[in-house]
A = this chain, B = another copy of it.
Amino acid sequence: MPALQNIKVAVDAVVFGYTSKEGLSVLLIKRNIDPYKNAWALPGGLVGDAESLEEAVQRELTEETGVNINYLEQLYSFGAPNRDPRNRVVSITYYGLVKPDAFELKADTDASDVAWFNIKNLPKLAFDHTQIINVARNRLKSKMLYQPVGFELLEEKFPFSELEKLYMAVLDRPIDRRNFKKKIMKFGFLEETTEKQMLDGAGRPGNLFRFNQAKYFQLQKDGIAFEI
């Protein structure tokens, strides 16, 4: 048992957003100090002495990106002795989900640069952040198979194909439209509205759907079991 300990505690967040145009994306900031100056990295930073870990993540996200988080869950803690070249830092990581309107921050913020990157087209990242994103992505993949995911990532009303494309983007494989719809609708947390999608191109416009929040959160607690 060491008498003196010299380890810092940080939090980092992998924030996922989704739009059908941009696909599944991750929020990154550009570092303006060494080490890894000018490299892209996850938003995050040291935990204050008096704040909880969740408070620290929320604070860092507000300070560095301004996004509005709809869901936040602890992911994993990374503590390899040399993951930060300056001194030892243990990072407790979280992953979060945000709605599409968060994508508009791109233009707003510029203190240090902030941007969305498609998950399939990430830049080189600082520290072990590439690894952290991989862990987060796998977690999201498994999560969406036993709990509903969508309310936190889509607009209030959306065509059914949005949800389907979201699942395809996260799972990174094609899905049979008919089977998928049967499975999802059976849970009863999706309500069909009579409104129709606004069109932005050719194609038959689809009905808009909405989450029934009571049933949704009930299922999120109880868990659902399904294969896509």
When the two chains form the complex, which single residue of B5, B9, B80, B227 contacts A46, counting CB atoms closer than 8 Å? B5
Complex interface: stretch among A49-57, A119-127, A154-162, A177-185: A49-57
Restricting to A78-94, which residues have a CB under 8 Å from any CB of B?
Answer: 79-81, 88, 90, 92
The reply to whether A92 and B74 contact each other, CB–CB distance below 8 Å, is: no
The reply to whether B5 and A9 contact each other, CB–CB distance below 8 Å, is: yes
Give Cα A90 to B227, complex, Å.
37
Q: Does A6 contact B (CB under 8 A)?
A: yes
Chain B residues in 8 Å Cβ range of A76: 74
Restricting to A22-46, which residues have a CB under 8 Å from any CB of B?
Answer: 45-46
Query: Closest chain B residue to A225 by CB distance?
Result: B227
Restricting to A1-18, which residues have a CB under 8 Å from any CB of B?
Answer: 1-2, 5-9
Chain B residues in 8 Å Cβ range of A51: 81
Chain B residues in 8 Å Cβ range of A77: 53, 74, 77, 92
Q: Does A174 contact B (CB under 8 A)?
A: no
The reply to whether A80 and B52 contact each other, CB–CB distance below 8 Å, is: yes
The reply to whether A52 and B74 contact each other, CB–CB distance below 8 Å, is: no
Give Cα A114 to B45, complex, Å.
38
Output the least CB separation between A160 and chain B (Å): 26
When the two chains form the complex, which single residue of B88, B90, B227 contacts A92, counting CB atoms closer than 8 Å? B90
Beyond A9-B9, A225-B227, A227-B225, whether A46 also contacts B79 by CB under 8 A is no
When the two chains form the complex, which single residue of B2, B47, B227 contacts A79, counting CB atoms closer than 8 Å? B47
Give Cα A81 to B2, complex, Å.
22
Q: Does A48 contact B (CB under 8 A)?
A: yes
Chain B residues in 8 Å Cβ range of A80: 52
Give me 25 A-to-B residue pairs in the complex whose CB atoms sit less than 8 angstroms apart, sorted by A's number. Answer: A1-B46, A2-B46, A2-B48, A2-B49, A5-B8, A5-B9, A5-B47, A5-B49, A6-B49, A7-B9, A7-B47, A7-B49, A9-B9, A9-B79, A9-B90, A47-B79, A51-B81, A52-B79, A52-B80, A52-B81, A53-B90, A74-B77, A77-B77, A79-B92, A92-B92
**5 new A-B contacts at CB < 8 Å, known A52-B81, A53-B90, A225-B227:** A1-B45, A1-B46, A2-B49, A9-B9, A53-B79
